Every structure is written in C-alpha cells, then in structure tokens.
Amino acid sequence: MQQVSRVERFAAFCIERRKFVTTLILALTVVFAWFAAHVEIKTIFHDLLPKGHPFIEINDKYNERFGGPNIVSIMVEAENGDIFQPQVLERIKQVTDDLYLVPAINQFQVISLASRKIRSINSSTEGIETKPMMWPDLPKDQAEIDLLREQVLANPLVYGRYVSPDLKSALVTADFIDRLIDYGKLYDAVTAIAAKYDGNGVNVRVVGEPLLTGWVVHYLPETFKLFLITIVIMTALLFVTVRTWRGVLLPMLAGLVSALWALGIASLFKVNFDPLIIVVAFLVTARAISHAVQMLAAFDDELERGHAPRDAAAKALVALFRPGMLGVVVDAVAVAIVAAMPMPLLQKTAFVGAVWLGTIAVSAMVLVPTLLSWVTKPHAVAFPVDTNRWLLRPLLNLCGTLVLGRRSIIVVLLGLAVLLLSGFYATKVTVGDALPGTPLLWPDHPYNVDAKAINDTFQGSDQMFVVVDGEGPNALKEPELLTNIDNFQRYLETQPQIGGTVSVVDLIGPVNANLHEGNRRFEELGPVADINGELLFMYMQGADPGDMDRFVDTDFKDGAVTMFFRDHKGDTIRTAVSRIEEYIENNPLPGESTYKLAGGLVGVLAAVNEEVFARQVESIALALLTLFILSAIAYRSTVAGLFYMPLVIMSNTITFAFMAWKGIGMNINTLPVAALGIGLGVDYAFYIVDGVKERFEETGDVMQSLQGSLRTAGRGVLITGGTMIAAVLVWYASSLKFQAEMGLLMALWLTVSAITSLLLIPAMIYVFRPAFVFGDGKPHAAAKPVTA
C-alpha cells in the first residue's frame, strides 16, 4: 500500500503542477534538441573491433605492413580477348595511378601489374635481376606485350593472383590507413575511378570493406526518407484506429521527446551515431509510442467510468505506473547488457539505447498523462467511422473467447509446442555471416555481383594474415622454419574457401629456378640459411623501399603468411581458424619462433565472431535474469518472475528460427536488435497482467477481469502492434538488405509479442490462476463475458 500511495502522490503532483511539469520537460527538450542537432552520424572502423582480443592486437600492430582489413580490390576485365592489349593494359595503369591519389591510401600497399611491387625475375650473365613488369612505362609494341605475357605466366606470385588464370582479368589491390579514412570521400573517389575507366571493351569491378561502409553512407538519404515514410504511415494508422487528435499527436510527441533527449545526451557525451543502428533507433521510438498509446487507452477507460479528464489522467498514470516503468526498465537493462561486449560500437549502442529507453519514463509515463489532464472535449472524435466497434472490439472479443474455459488449455499447449519447435530451429542460427557476399546489401546489388565475379576469377578478395614471429634476426632464412611455413601453406590451400596463400617462401623458389635456367624442378628452398639469404638478396636487387613489407620486416625476424578467402561466412572463418590452430599445435616452429593469429579483414571478423559466439548466450541469459528479478520485485513474487519467461523465450526462439531460415547471421549488427527483443517480447504482457489484477481486485471475477483487461490494455496492444507492424514493413523496400531484414525481424517480434500477449498470457492466467495476479481472494462464479 505504501508504494501505491507514493505513486498516487506523484500522480497528484504531476497533475496539480502540470504547468511546471510540462514547461520543465519541454524546456529540457529544447536544450537537448540543440545538442541533438550536432550529433555525429558516422562509422568508425575500430568501433567494430573487440578491444583486447589477441587477433585485434596483432592486426593493429602489423596491418600497415602486412595488409589490414581496409583493402579495396579492383578487377579490370577485358570483354573480348585477354588483358594483353594496349587499351586494356593502359586502363590497368590508369586505375593504379589514380588510386595513389585517393585520400588515406597506404602508398606502399598499392599492388597491380602496373605497380612497382609486381616484379619479374630474370637470370642473365650478370646474375639474377628483378624489375617491375609494367612500371613506369607501358609496353611499347607487340613484342614487349608478348614478353610481359611470358613473364606473367612464369611468375606464380602474379599468375593466378594478380592476373587471372584465363588471362582475361587483372586485379588491383590497395590498402588504406584505418585512422585516416573518411568513408564517404573514399567511396566517392574509388567509385569515380571505376566509373571513369569502365566501358569501351573493359569492365571494372570494385569490392572492399571501406567501399561497403561507403555504400551504407551513400544510402543514408534513402534511410531517412524511409524513416519519414514510416512515421507518416504510423500517424495515419493511429488516426484511423484511435480517432482522436490526442491519440495521434501525444504518442508522436512522446517519441519525438525521447529521441531528442537521447540524441542530445549522446552528443553531450561525444558518442557518434552509426548509420547501421538507425534501425535500433526506430525500434526504441516505437517503444515510446507504444507506452503512450497504452496510457491513452487507460485514460479513455477512466473516462468511460465517468471520471473528469484531470482525475482520469491521474488514475491512468497510477494504474500504468508499475507495468509501464517495469517495461521501460527491463528494456533499458536488456540493452545496457550489450555493453558487456568489448566492441565500442555495441557499447555506444547500449549507452544510447538504454538512455533512449530510459527517457520513455518521462515522455510517455509523465508528459503524456500530464497533457491529457488538459483535454476539454474528452468524448469528441475526429474520424466518423468507429473502427473500435467494427474492427478492434470483435478481435478482442474473439481473443477473450479463445482464452477462457477448455480452449485456454489448447492455447497453452499450442504455445508449448511452438516454443519447443522454434527452440529446436533457433539453434541453427549462424554466428557471423550466413551467406556469401555481404549481408548488408541484396544479392543482386552491384557490390555483391562484383564480389562474386572477383572471387570466382581470382583466389579471393578477403584476406587474413598470420604473423610468423621469429626467434631473432634472420630467423626467416632458416630452412627448418621456412619448410614449416611451406607445409603450412599447402595445408591451408586444401580448404576449398581459401583460394591461395603467399609468404616469403614464394619468393625463394622462383629465384632458385632462374639460377638453374628456369627449371621448375629447382623451385625449392635452399638447404642452409646462407643460401636462402643469398636468394632473397638476389630478389631484392633493384627493389624499392617497401617492396618486401608485405612478406617480411627489414631484419627478417617477422613475416606473414597471407591467405585469400573467397567468402567470409561464419562457418568458413571458424573452419579456417580451427585448421590453423590445429596445424600450429601439431607443427610447432623451431626454437622460440611462433605463429600469431591473425590480421586482415578475415582475422578481424574471426575476432568479432568469437566474441559474439561467446557472449550472445550470456547476454540473453543476463537479460532473462534481469526480467526475472525485476518482475519478482515489482509483483513481490518469484512466480511472477517465472511467469513471463515462456513469452520472452518464445519471441526470441521464433525470431532466431526465422533468422536461421532466412540466412540472417548473428553478428555485430543484429545483436543489439536481438537484445531489444527481450523487452519487446514482454512489454505488452505487463499491461495485460496488470489490467487483470486491477479488475479482479474490483470485481473478484476471473472472466470479467480477463475480458476487461483485453478491452483496454489489449486495445492498446492491437493498436500499437498493428500500427508498428504495418509501418516497419516499409523498411523492406530499403536498398540495404540489412535494414530490410531488420524490418522483417521487428515485424515478426511485434506480431509474436502481440499474439502471445493477447492469447497465451490470458490463457496462462486462466489455467494457472497465479497468486501474484489474484492474491488470496476467492473468484466469484463465472460471469458472462463482457462485450461492452
């Protein structure tokens, strides 16, 4: 009783001092709006990486030397004939030269047939000489072109890696310095190069992680357009179903206030807003609107009981304070738990999401009932057709009929069957990307089309490097160590998804063969370190600074084994890492030398996937534990803590089963949405249960209590659920596949949550008669269903 009286005093304060409360909230909103206007919308690559993970530490230490995750690959393809034509070779050189001018380029990591890095190995009376194949000048005549073809075919570092096996395509790769990248400018510059040289018998295709992020930035205007269309649809549907201006304007105002407060606080704390979490922002805004609609439904119910607007507003605030605040806190904590992930992007998302959800306690639970107290025409409607009578009430009456009597047992058993079946399929969801290409874009998007073409033609556009940490200077000249590396490469290349590997070993064999008149039988390592050192010295004659960086450091202590992957699916990466670790365990390097995993894009993704896999179950378990504790405290019953579990678990298992069916992987982008699903699955249920509890205390009749709760709280569920479901489906039109899929996930979550709240929760109440709902009171004889 003490808690109730405090809530009543709080409600009385808000209504009696409504001018002060409203002015204070709106004044703070104006202040936060100013800060919100200055929030940064950008992607920071290192925000995606798990701090402290050994793979990330290796990547950060060596990526500027051995190649980081921000590599762009450009394929220049001849439509007719092969690339050994003047016009095609000229395009390769032009693309290469233009890349040097792109901002944030690592000029030591631009590699192509037309760069200084691609060298031919030739023997002459003066010894072994290496020189660039097609730099600084193009071949002058057909004889030089024919010589270039011969050099390419004779060099395993080039043939198949930078020139395709059918000789119809050439690959240009460029690495960028992570800390200097502006993804919008990089996207504009690289796509401009591709467009400039595409056509007239040559196709130019481009892929790469920074370009992918650039595509996301490119679609930002479309994303904001879809957001606005969604808001318009929500407004129209609310107007049709609620039929009052207050029923439209106040929920939208609640959503706007929450958004401005959250973005303003994010700006104050210098937290950038990543474009990929805009879908999370919409989901949180939907929660604010949902809570506001529930408040309006409770207000209308109090009006029907004969209360004046001021009293109705106060009573609605008191009645919904516990379920509303419980829903807000569960939502906020569930999202905050995501901060346990060591990725800064998820930590920032958790911070902004938790703050955003927390503001609903002010915007929907305080501001809305306070403004409702000023209503002067409580029974006026703005829309003549009574949608409540012709649509909502029949649906709610049907729900009431299905959850009473023996039918309630059938509903509970069906719910159990769905839970078990969806739980089985939910285990099949993939950690990491489930399909080839990028899940951010549609399969037929030019980026994915180009990625498939490049990966089908070459050894793979996605790279991982493993560092060989030698025991001391010149360690990478020792035959035993080099033989181990050679065997390691052969072992890796048996995995179908790895198109090829490269290391310092690949430099020694061709030089040795050239010393023996090009005889491939002598393409092998030297028997002692001194000979390997001499062979490497011969290769380096005439080399420019940085030419050896992607293979070894200057004192031959540290080197890299680089792998080329044809896709970066979760299963591919896990298999590769497992095989690498198995080889290292069974084939240790001599002395104190060691292999260290792993850098490059695939190495970074391996680290992300490991963290997601290790923490996803933990995050969901913590969110469920939070739900249990908060529900038990709010209702002073451990049974209450357990009561909501099946509902929440079902909404998540159904969603994960859907993700497995549609090939949507659990990754850094989908994890925040999954965390929000915990609260999304239970908000509606809180209102239904509290409605039953309140009415049973008044009537003592189970049936009337269930029917009454469905007519009020259930009406709010139908309105918000139907409105949100219809609105989020608009996101399926997005050019970003990720946003489209998240729209489907949100629609599915809302649908499951609404159905379970309207059917499963009332059926469970009817069948189990939990004490935290009915207390020790004895229910009256079954009354006839109320259909007013």
**Cα–Cα dist 654/419, whole Å:** 8
Most confident of 187-201, 532-546, 770-784: 187-201
pLDDT digits (tens, 9 = 90+) for 452-485: 999 889 988 888 999 999 888 888 888 999 999 9
Instruction: Provide the Cα torsion 676, 678, 679, 682; round to 10°.
Output: 150
Q: What pLDDT, in 10s, does the model give residues 696-710?
A: 888 888 888 888 888
Note the pLDDT of residue 777: 53
Amino acid identity of 483?
T
Span 632-659, mean pLDDT? 86
Name the least confident of 19-33, 60-74, 252-266, 517-531: 517-531
**pLDDT value at residue 781:** 39
Per residue in 734-749, pLDDT (tens digit) is 888 888 888 888 888 8
Total-model pTM: 0.82
Per-residue pLDDT band at 128 (split at 50, 70, 90): low
Mean pLDDT of 60-73: 84
H/E stretch holding 564 reads strand 558-565
pLDDT digits (tens, 9 = 90+) for 270-323: 888 777 777 777 778 878 888 898 898 889 888 888 889 999 999 999 988 888
In the predicted structure, residue 5 carries a pLDDT above the cut 70: no
Q: How far apart are CA 173 and CA 112, in angstroms?
A: 7
Kind of pairing between the strands at 558-565 and 169-176: unpaired
Q: What is the CA radius of gyration of the chain?
A: 32
Query: What's the angle, vertex CA 577, arms to CA 574 and CA 581, rounded to 5?
Result: 135
Q: Is the pLDDT of residue 114 over 70?
A: yes
pLDDT digits (tens, 9 = 90+) for 713-723: 888 888 888 88
Which of 280, 224, 233, 286 shows the shortest CA–CA distance to 255? 286
Give me the mean pLDDT over the 23-31 stretch.
95
Q: Quick one: pLDDT at residue 274?
A: 77
Q: Which helix (H) or strand (E) holds 150?
A: helix 142-154
Secondary structure string (H, E, C) spanning 503-561: CCHHHHHHHHHHHCCCCHHHCCCCCCHHHHHHHHHHHHCCCCCCCCCCCECCCCCEEEE
Residue 388: what pLDDT?
A: 73
Half-sphere exposure of 40 (CA within 13 A, CB side): 9
- Segment 357-372 mean pLDDT: 92
Query: Residue 390 carries which DSSP code?
Result: I
| Residues 170-215 pLDDT 10s | 999 998 888 888 888 899 999 999 999 998 889 999 998 888 888 8
pLDDT reported for residue 680: 60
Give me the percent of the chain exceeding a pLDDT of 70: 94
Which residue, among 575, 562, 565, has the nearest Cα to 462 in the 3D structure?
A: 565
Q: What contacts 225, CB < 8 A, 6 or more positions away?
A: none
Contact 105, 495 (CB under 8 A): no
**What is the average pLDDT score of the chain?**
85
The 10s digit of each residue's pLDDT in 383-436 is 777 777 777 888 888 888 888 888 899 999 999 999 999 989 888 888 877 777
Q: Which two structure tokens, joined as six digits, stand for 714? A: 């259930």
Q: Which residues make Cβ contacts (< 8 Å) with residue 213, sequence separation at least 6?
A: 43, 45, 183, 187
Quick: pLDDT tens for 340-358: 778 887 788 888 888 888 9
Give the per-residue pLDDT at 674.
65
- Which two structure tokens, joined as six digits, stand for 121? 């190995």
User: Averaged over 675-694, what is the pLDDT?
Assistant: 77
- Tens of pLDDT along 567-603? 888 888 888 999 999 999 999 998 888 999 888 888 8
Query: Is the pLDDT at 782 greater than 60, yes or no?
Result: no
Q: Per-residue pLDDT averaged across 95-115, rounded?
A: 90
Between CA 373 and CA 294 the distance in angstroms is 16
